[in-house]
Structure 1
């Protein structure tokens, strides 16, 4: 995936977009969808508790139920995308997402909230699984590089969406929160409409989906899926664990919560494409997984040590820890993408991506409990244990995949 050069008369925004018209379409759709996701993720919990009036425990129960249902939705959507066309499936999922999120505006009890949450929980896994074969079909170069570019775009859009949601949170009224929910629904629909611009020839169905679940019998792919799933705990460490640790266990100012998140997003936006360029085969992916595990271990140790010192020492340790940790995240994301695409047959990319997401989705569902039991439960030893786990799995990831392939 190449970024356009700088021809005379072309705007700065245009120069940042890919050369391929199809890649530009996917990029714009990704930005729209991610912007809506940033808004909703930032303000949804407050909407459900302050406007709908649900206790936090019931909100969490709905999210967990949606995550569980979403595990199967991703696998099914991937297979459907292989058989009937990635773009057709993805557009349908996005339109369904718009309808599901809109329904949150009508909920008034836990049971209505739970039903809508179960439906809405299918959208993101199904969207990711149906998008995978689409990306493989439209990518003009290495899909890993294009995915790295899309990840940078996603992080930028999420940050801007979070800023937009901040205005609604500051206003703190029912219409303001309803505006956020409506905005998320519009983003889904907008993503679908943009994706309709892709020519049918570029994203047609392969029509060659095999009977049965080939991905579930592929030892190499399942090995990569398992290693990737464990290492995906890094997202819960930065998004769930660290904010609680900063506020409850360190003397660092509370604004360090948003400060570390912004630092993470900026580094991803600036560096993900560059980091992804060196990952062009499964061997390189295994190497990057090992690097990622080491960076995670060091980053977690630095952030854990922030629990004792004075305010500015604690802040410095958190910043240093996040920089190292984000470097691991960049290597992990590039390697994860190569595993997902490089080990999958092109005509079964949807099915394989669905199985790949099944592993990380299962870990995502249990990650808060792991974080509560280890780092938050026993402190520094728990942080070190988590870091050791990520370091070990990253180190053996490449050899494990090679062994499963009989190499």
Structure 2
């Protein structure tokens, strides 16, 4: 695919005085997009079941179809970001997300819901791949610092979006749900408008050889599988933890909300400091090892909270959340470093799209897997999950070294 020329001719790598302002704009773009994500992730299922009145099974099936569709779309959008210019593709992705989210308000049956959910899910999943070349351009001498700041504000945006959605869920009326939907659409629209404040980037020149180079990079694909499989931990606090607390422990239900606040606070305060030390693929491999072992400890603490004794359970679960969040920080920093640094510069978007496949699959199978093991198997299931995450961490340093040798 040939690159489309721009009337402007921005410089690709030179750092200028305006770069700091453009970095701040990029942070704002990610923040408002994350707010939209947080609203939809928190209120989306309830909106379609309680306001649109679709059966729960249809809603679950529709979101699963959308998740599978978005996996393939992410790779394609990442490739387009490389070949057509990342800023333009990023703006189109956000505009698509805004339009699809607003269309939720007019969706009243299953197949229109599936179509709109596919567009909305693809926009959310493809955003990291679409913005990847922009982050690389404005990362400066320490790109990991910019990526850490972006992750911090992304998590903050998701949390604020969840609070906005919580108001709608608490009211539990169609008006409240529709308001949440339109606020989410407005967040995506604002993020799209902000991208216009970033200068257009020249498309990356296509090199001779296969077009889909990321799909032929076996070491990168292996790391995608390892990091993505470890990503099932992202569903621990949203799926396994609440069910475990209610069914197996004596801790008060309010601890679920407290755990989210603890997790968010640690992520917001700790992501940048942790990421400063993960500034190479080798250190990222070590961080994945630490993350896997940390998850094992966290799973053990949560498993030990089963049984009587509310204060005993509160203490162990709270400590488990803190330890788990430290592992999340290691995993997030390592995954971002690997996904960028081991990607071919001329195909950064495509590589990030491929990397997103692993996380997308983990996000799809994570809830079912965690419910089956942690809730169905009980204490033993927690140790199986923790052991599997630790094993993935142990395999990661060797996989990183292999990828670096074939870089």
Name the TM-score, length of structure 1 as normaliser: 0.92
Counterparts of 1:31 and 1:121, CA distance in 2: 17
What secondary structure, in the 3-state scheme, does the structure 1 residue paired with 2:140 have?
Answer: coil
Gaps of 5+ in 1: 1-17
Q: Does 1:246 align with 2:250?
A: no
Q: Offset of 1:187 from its aligned partner?
A: 0.8
Query: Does the 8 Å contact 1:104/1:181 carry over to 2?
Result: yes
Partner of 2:364: 365
Partner of 1:332: 331
Which deviates the most, 274-283 or 122-131?
122-131
The superposition leaves residues 152-192 of structure 1 with CA deviations (integer Å, 9 ceiling, x where unpaired) of 11122222222222222233221111010011111111100
Q: Offset of 1:364 from its aligned partner?
A: 1.5
Partner of 1:128: 128
Query: Does the 8 Å contact 2:278/2:284 carry over to 1?
Result: yes
Query: Does the 8 Å contact 1:374/1:382 carry over to 2?
Result: yes
Counterparts of 1:328 and 1:47, CA distance in 2: 32
Partner of 1:353: 352
Counterparts of 1:276 and 1:126, CA distance in 2: 23
Q: Offset of 1:60 from its aligned partner?
A: 1.1
Q: Offset of 1:253 from its aligned partner?
A: 0.6
Query: Does the 8 Å contact 2:37/2:124 carry over to 1?
Result: no
Which deviates the most, 325-334 or 157-166?
157-166
Equivalences, count: 388
Q: Offset of 1:221 from its aligned partner?
A: 1.1
Q: Does 1:282 align with 2:281?
A: yes
Q: Offset of 1:118 from its aligned partner?
A: 2.1
Which deviates the most, 28-37 or 83-92?
28-37
What secondary structure, in the 3-state scheme, does the structure 1 residue paired with 2:305 have?
Answer: helix
The superposition leaves residues 343-385 of structure 1 with CA deviations (integer Å, 9 ceiling, x where unpaired) of 0122210011011111121121111221122111111111101
Counterparts of 1:392 and 1:122, CA distance in 2: 31
Which deviates the most, 353-362 or 363-372?
363-372
Counterparts of 1:115 and 1:222, CA distance in 2: 29
The superposition leaves residues 64-97 of structure 1 with CA deviations (integer Å, 9 ceiling, x where unpaired) of 1110000001100000000001111010010011
Partner of 1:108: 108
Counterparts of 2:21 and 2:53, CA distance in 1: 46
Query: Does the 8 Å contact 1:33/1:191 carry over to 2?
Result: yes
Counterparts of 1:46 and 1:239, CA distance in 2: 15
Counterparts of 2:404 and 2:225, CA distance in 1: 15
Partner of 1:205: 203
Q: Does 1:315 align with 2:305?
A: no
Counterparts of 1:156 and 1:118, CA distance in 2: 25
Q: Offset of 1:55 from its aligned partner?
A: 2.0
Counterparts of 1:247 and 1:268, CA distance in 2: 25
Which deviates the most, 137-146 or 224-233?
137-146
Counterparts of 2:175 and 2:278, CA distance in 1: 46
Q: Offset of 1:19 from its aligned partner?
A: 7.5
Counterparts of 2:39 and 2:125, CA distance in 1: 19
Partner of 1:220: 219
Counterparts of 1:331 and 1:265, CA distance in 2: 15
Which deviates the most, 272-281 or 29-38?
29-38
Counterparts of 1:405 and 1:267, CA distance in 2: 31
Query: Does the 8 Å contact 1:82/1:209 carry over to 2?
Result: no
Q: Offset of 1:405 from its aligned partner?
A: 4.9
Partner of 1:73: 73
Query: Does the 8 Å contact 2:159/2:264 carry over to 1?
Result: yes
Q: Does 1:146 align with 2:146?
A: yes
Counterparts of 1:298 and 1:209, CA distance in 2: 46
Query: Does the 8 Å contact 1:223/1:401 carry over to 2?
Result: no
Distance 1:404-1:313 versus aligned 2 partners, 3 A rule: same
Partner of 2:5: none
Query: Does the 8 Å contact 1:289/1:331 carry over to 2?
Result: yes
What secondary structure, in the 3-state scheme, does the structure 2 residue paired with 1:234 have?
Answer: helix
Counterparts of 2:153 and 2:344, CA distance in 1: 27
What secondary structure, in the 3-state scheme, does the structure 1 residue paired with 2:59 have?
Answer: helix
Following superposition of structure 1 onto structure 2, how do residues 86-101 of structure 1 map, counting pairs within 5 Å?
A: 86-101=86-101
Query: Does the 8 Å contact 1:219/1:405 carry over to 2?
Result: no
Query: Does the 8 Å contact 1:79/1:209 carry over to 2?
Result: no
Gaps of 5+ in 2: 1-17
Q: Offset of 1:228 from its aligned partner?
A: 0.5
